[in-house]
């Protein structure tokens, strides 16, 4: 039976600006093949959970620290995916590495947005502002964002979409981070969500 819409879970750790970009894309008709039905954060104070509540989307707090082990944390995530019949998992600033045991259960069903042009400035330790600090330290003239499938290797899955962003003279990591979000992440992440959702439903 063909699904009308892919059921999407967005995993976040912070403010949820990429979550908001996805929700806005649903509103504007960029995303028509999928629908966010669940938001999970490993940080109970994440503003992303407030965004979810405002959009009448179920929000869950699942903490590895409180569950003590990676196995217990991932078991709780799997249970949530099953309870909400999730088809696609979107990592949008989720500050927790997932094991092969988890990622292999959802092959080609987990996507992540990374704030650089993979294979530059990616892998373990490259997240958040650290990515932009590294790009500026290297003196690159072009950076950007990448949406990719998630496997057991951090930032190692097949690339779905990329968009380049110019690095400007005098950029701070914060200014560059903002430009990469506005000019790349918030554009290609919703597009990728629609692309993969459409494939799931077809």
Q: Which residues are catalytic?
A: 114
Residue at token pair 């908001």: 20
Minimal CA–CA distance to 39: which of 70, 73, 16? 16
Parallel, antiparallel, or unpaired for β 142-149 and 110-114?
A: antiparallel
Report the C-alpha gap between 51 and 159 in whole angstroms: 28
- Please write down the HEC assignment for all residues of the chain: CCCCCEEEEEEECCCCHHHHHHHHHHHHCCCCCEEEEEEEECCCCCHHHHHHHHCCCEEEECCHHHHCCHHHHHHHHHHHHHHCCCCEEEECCCCCCCCHHHHHHHCCCEEEEECCCCCCCCCCCCCCHHHHHHHHHHCCCEEEEEEEECCCCCCCCCEEEEEEEECCCCCCHHHHHHHHHHHHHHHHHHHHHHHHHHHHHC
């Amino acid at each position: 039976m063909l699904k009308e819409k892919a059921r999407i879970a967005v995993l976040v750790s912070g403010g949820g600006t990429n979550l908001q970009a996805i929700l806005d894309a649903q509103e504007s008709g960029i995303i028509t093949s999928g629908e966010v039905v669940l938001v999970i954060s490993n940080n109970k104070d994440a503003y992303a959970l407030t965004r979810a509540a405002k959009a009448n989307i179920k929000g869950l707090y699942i903490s590895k620290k409180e569950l003590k082990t990676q196995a217990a944390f991932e078991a709780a995530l799997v249970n949530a995916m099953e309870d909400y019949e999730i088809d696609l998992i979107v990592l949008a600033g989720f500050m927790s590495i997932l094991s092969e045991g988890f990622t292999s259960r959802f092959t080609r069903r987990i996507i992540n947005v990374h704030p650089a042009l993979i294979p530059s400035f990616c892998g373990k330790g490259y997240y958040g502002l650290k990515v932009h600090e590294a790009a500026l330290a290297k003196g690159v003239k072009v950076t950007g964002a990448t949406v990719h499938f998630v496997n057991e290797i951090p930032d190692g899955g097949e690339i779905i979409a990329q968009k380049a962003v110019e690095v400007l003279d005098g950029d701070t990591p914060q200014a560059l981070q903002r430009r990469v979000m506005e000019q790349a992440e918030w554009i290609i992440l919703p597009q990728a969500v629609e692309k993969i959702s459409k494939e799931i439903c077809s």
